Chains A and B, each alone.
Chain A
Amino acid sequence: MDLINFEATELRLGLPGSKDDQTETKAIPSPVNNKRSSPEMDSSVSDENDSSRSPPPTKAQVVGWPPVRSYRKNIIQAKKTETIYIKVSMDGAPYLRKVDLKLYTSYEELMKGLQGMFKCNIGLYSEKEGYKSEFAPTYEDKDGDWMLVGDVPFDMFLTSCKRLRIMKSCEVIES
């Protein structure tokens, strides 16, 4: 049995499959570019061939890898476009409301939305003086602390805000 030969079992440095002069046929054309059965394949696949030694910043998608059924992939993608509903309370209001933070791209838009919902005027934010109105919007962050809305960039606020409370200014403790 000439398969049990030295060449096949010798120790070598280098990635497996990188030497292919043993067989006449071409070694793996990887990844496979299969037009018909690769709806998920994106153009970044060609990058994997060029930079095969260094890990790519985003994963190049190989057909059928990882082996996850397509209906499972859809569930996960659906999660990404999900809404972020949080509770909003306003001091003096009889009940709470819920707002979808995903609808807003900036603090101005969010304030407009809240002002419309609660029929109040919150006013403009200033770093030194907070809000020049009888209301101050605050939020509870991931650590459970109550923070004034507006100090951090809006994207950061979106990920850390768990609920909103529009406080009456007289209750706000000046630092």
Chain B
Amino acid sequence: MTSSFPEEVLEHVFSFITSHKDRNVVSLVCKSWYEIERWCRRRVFIGNCYAVSPEIMIRRFPEVRAVELKGKPHFADFNLVPEGWGGYFYPWIVEMAKAYPLLEEIKLKRMVVSDEGLEMIGRSFRCFKVLILSSCEGFSTDGLAAIAANCRNLRELDLRESEVEDLSGHWLSHFPDACTSLESLNMSCLSSEVSLSALQRLVARSPKLKTLRLNRAVPLEKLSTLLLRAPQLVEMGTGAYSADIHSDVYSSLAAAFSKCKELKSLSGFWDVDPYYLPVFYSVCSRLTFLNLSYATIQSPDVSKIISQCPNLQRLWVLDYIEDSGLNTLSLSCKDLRELRVFPSDPFIADANVSLTEQGLVAVSEGCPKLQSVLYFCRQMSNSALITIANNRPNLTCFRLCILEPRAPDYLTFEPLDTGFGAIVDQCKGLQRLSLSGLLTDRVFEYIGKHAKKLEMLSIAFAGDSDLGLHHVLSGCDSLRKLEIRDCPFGDKALLANVSKLETMRSLWMSSCAVSLGACKLLSRKMPRLNVEVIDEQGDLDSRPDNCAVEKLYIYRTVAGPRLDTPSFIQTMGQNTAYRLP
């Protein structure tokens, strides 16, 4: 098909196509569209930094303005991925600094970022605007100082949940007086105190500031002066939420909050003193997101807040909310889309709070728009899961964590197969699922049969045999990410579904029953997969083929085996002589 449109017209049309999936499809239509599209692509998303190399990205997309990269596997969040695994940002920044002088945005997740890398960002991109470091590590506040000092037009600096070597709070003072472009600052993961006067001045000279998430070290007494300088804030995270009881502090906080007419999102709330909770009641009616997951306040206080938030769409909270608070939620917040309930004390044997499956059932009944659930609890039943599934067929994300591994239905002592089966059967649009409790191969039969839109599946302490894994790999048509730990899944299922693995981003298996020989065989059959065996005992070369591997990470790639594997990772199919020591 020859296009009768001049290139400029096609480019203009393509500029309205922003979704990565759509742009990828556009590029496959014909050679000329591929060429035009690649020159006008401005945003690139790379879900696995080892699936492609910086050189390949730059060669194909020469005019990029925004890059998003993800590094470590998701289970790294729970310490299952050893230190030194990889996910280094440096090789990327070195190439991007040369190739993309007009780069504006970098977003990284679970990557290792160094101060040198951050300094390079500051030096290399005169238009740099947005830096988002999500769950990253490897850098210190010195690197942040370099960003603050050198990025003249910085719009967004978001360090969400990163592990930063906190040398001092001095980095904040490196923002030049001339910098007035800041719209979003999230420093909630830092522990050091920043200079409050520097923070106040920064806030005062940033008229477009919409998001300000403070760290725990910012005292509550100072919050009102910050809020008064930024009444236009839309998203705000407090610091520590307690102070000596003082009616002056109380009234100035209440007054400051009442001036924030645009405030829709609140977070922070470390060390809450309930005395100060009412100060933000005036903004509750406008709140759409409330993160109380650090607030160790009891159920009546939580209920009091929630009952005043009729427009709440997302709630993150500790299990102190209890079933009674969730009941209040189900009655008060009819617009709720997302609920996350975190455990306050996951390591004690008995429940410290009265939170059961009933709370979740109540929310599923009362909140018709509920789509996304993350729920930690100590007991679950098939009947509750079936009720939830019937109430909420519109669920897209369902992550249930019953704290005790392999816990059965607490009423019948049966596995929870039928309960989760109902979830995948009813919720036809389910994209993400995390399983827990006692589960046999049967649940995987249901998942393979019904979960056709499922993209990400997390499995732990479940299943009986390879049949379970086989059901998933052969049945889940949309599966992109699969992560498995402590399940009796072995070679058979993996080797029977080799081509499936190339349609997925990645597969993680740890403490399963996959043999070294199967890994080698898989790698030979599928040259475009990196089959990485992680083994910290150190003598993989001398092990027999039938021994089980500790951990396995398999992903598709066009960049070949990676060159930065540490000594405890071996990519199968590679001549060991070429590996770095």
Q: Does A110 contact B (CB under 8 A)?
A: no
Q: Does B167 contact A (CB under 8 A)?
A: no
Task: Assess whether B488 is in contact with A17, with CB atoms less than 8 Å apart.
Answer: yes
Given contact pairs A1-B496, A8-B441, A26 touches B464 in the complex (Cβ within 8 A): no
Task: Assess whether A69 is in contact with B465, with CB atoms less than 8 Å apart.
Answer: no
Given contact pairs A34-B536, A69-B77, A26 touches B513 in the complex (Cβ within 8 A): yes
Given contact pairs A1-B496, A25-B547, A55-B349, A16 touches B438 in the complex (Cβ within 8 A): yes
Q: Does B514 contact A (CB under 8 A)?
A: yes
Closest to A65 in B: B405
Complex: A58 Cα to B349 Cα, angstroms:
5
B317 to A: closest C-beta gap in Å: 12
Task: Assess whether B488 is in contact with A28, with CB atoms less than 8 Å apart.
Answer: yes
Q: Does B398 contact A (CB under 8 A)?
A: no
Q: Does B550 contact A (CB under 8 A)?
A: yes
Q: Does B296 contact A (CB under 8 A)?
A: yes
Q: Does A68 contact B (CB under 8 A)?
A: yes
Complex: A15 Cα to B463 Cα, angstroms:
10
B467 to A: closest C-beta gap in Å: 4
Q: Does B562 contact A (CB under 8 A)?
A: no
Complex: A68 Cα to B550 Cα, angstroms:
22
Q: How many residues of A contact B (CB 8 A)?
A: 51
Q: Does B75 contact A (CB under 8 A)?
A: yes
Task: Assess whether A28 is in contact with B487, with CB atoms less than 8 Å apart.
Answer: yes
Given contact pairs A3-B492, A23-B490, A64-B485, A57 touches B513 in the complex (Cβ within 8 A): no
Q: Does A70 contact B (CB under 8 A)?
A: yes
Given contact pairs A25-B547, A26-B513, A66 touches B345 in the complex (Cβ within 8 A): no
Which chain B positions have C-beta within 8 A of A24? 515, 546
Task: Assess whether B536 is in contact with A35, with CB atoms less than 8 Å apart.
Answer: yes
A173 to B: closest C-beta gap in Å: 30
Task: Assess whether A28 is in contact with B492, with CB atoms less than 8 Å apart.
Answer: no
Task: Assess whether A40 is in contact with B376, with CB atoms less than 8 Å apart.
Answer: no
Q: Does B270 contact A (CB under 8 A)?
A: yes
Task: Assess whether A31 is in contact with B486, with CB atoms less than 8 Å apart.
Answer: yes
A51 to B: closest C-beta gap in Å: 13
Task: Assess whether A22 is in contact with B346, with CB atoms less than 8 Å apart.
Answer: no
B472 to A: closest C-beta gap in Å: 12
Task: Assess whether B80 is in contact with A64, with CB atoms less than 8 Å apart.
Answer: yes
Q: What is the interface residue range for chain B against chain A?
A: 35 or more
Task: Assess whether B82 is in contact with A36, with CB atoms less than 8 Å apart.
Answer: yes
Task: Assess whether B343 is in contact with A66, with CB atoms less than 8 Å apart.
Answer: yes
Complex: A36 Cα to B343 Cα, angstroms:
26
Q: Does A59 contact B (CB under 8 A)?
A: yes
Q: Does A75 contact B (CB under 8 A)?
A: yes
Given contact pairs A8-B441, A25-B490, A34 touches B550 in the complex (Cβ within 8 A): yes
Which chain A positions have C-beta within 8 A of B450? none
- Give the contacting residue for B491; candidates A16, A23, A38, A67; CB below 8 A: A23
Complex: A64 Cα to B78 Cα, angstroms:
5
Which chain B positions have C-beta within 8 A of A68? 78, 342-343, 346, 376
- Give the contacting residue for B78; candidates A65, A75, A76; CB below 8 A: A65
Q: Does A126 contact B (CB under 8 A)?
A: no
Given contact pairs A4-B467, A65-B405, A76-B345, A30 touches B547 in the complex (Cβ within 8 A): no
Task: Assess whether A8 is in contact with B79, with CB atoms less than 8 Å apart.
Answer: no
Which chain B positions have C-beta within 8 A of A119? none
Closest to A48 in B: B405
Closest to A80 in B: B345
Task: Assess whether A32 is in contact with B81, with CB atoms less than 8 Å apart.
Answer: no
Task: Assess whether A40 is in contact with B342, with CB atoms less than 8 Å apart.
Answer: no
Task: Assess whether A29 is in contact with B293, with CB atoms less than 8 Å apart.
Answer: no
B-contact bits for A61-89, CB 8 A (1 contact / 0 none):
11111111111110110110010000000
Closest to B518 in A: A25
Given contact pairs A3-B467, A20-B488, A76-B345, A36 touches B511 in the complex (Cβ within 8 A): no
Complex: A27 Cα to B458 Cα, angstroms:
19
Complex: A45 Cα to B29 Cα, angstroms:
56
- Give the contacting residue for A59; candidates B347, B415, B439, B460; CB below 8 A: B347
Which chain A positions have C-beta within 8 A of B572? none
Q: Does B161 contact A (CB under 8 A)?
A: yes
Q: Does A43 contact B (CB under 8 A)?
A: no
B-contact bits for A40-56, CB 8 A (1 contact / 0 none):
10000000000000011
Q: Does B344 contact A (CB under 8 A)?
A: yes
Which parts of B164-202 form the interface with A (CB within 8 Å)? 189
Task: Assess whether B347 is in contact with A71, with CB atoms less than 8 Å apart.
Answer: no
Q: Does A92 contact B (CB under 8 A)?
A: no
Complex: A38 Cα to B82 Cα, angstroms:
9
Q: Does A175 contact B (CB under 8 A)?
A: no
Which chain A positions have C-beta within 8 A of B229? none
- Give the contacting residue for A61; candidates B189, B296, B347, B439; CB below 8 A: B347
- Give the contacting residue for B460; candidates A26, A65, A78; CB below 8 A: A65
Which chain B positions have C-beta within 8 A of A144? none
Which chain B positions have C-beta within 8 A of A28? 486-488, 511-513
Task: Assess whether B466 is in contact with A8, with CB atoms less than 8 Å apart.
Answer: yes
Complex: A57 Cα to B81 Cα, angstroms:
29
Q: Does A94 contact B (CB under 8 A)?
A: no
Residues of A within 8 A of B (CB): 1, 3-4, 8-9, 15-17, 20, 22-32, 34-40, 55-59, 61-73, 75-76, 78-79, 82, 98
- 6 more contacts with CB within 8 A, not counting A36-B536, A78-B271, are A3-B467, A8-B467, A16-B406, A29-B548, A59-B349, A63-B79
Residues of B within 8 A of A (CB): 75, 77-83, 161, 189, 244-245, 270-271, 293-294, 296, 342-349, 376, 401, 403-406, 415, 434, 438-441, 458, 460-467, 470, 485-488, 490-493, 496, 510-515, 536, 546-548, 550, 568
Q: Could you list 24 A-B pairs, sorted by A, with CB under 8 Å?
A: A3-B466, A8-B464, A8-B465, A9-B441, A9-B467, A16-B415, A16-B464, A16-B488, A24-B546, A25-B514, A26-B513, A29-B511, A32-B511, A55-B349, A62-B405, A63-B79, A64-B80, A66-B343, A67-B458, A67-B460, A68-B342, A69-B78, A79-B344, A98-B245
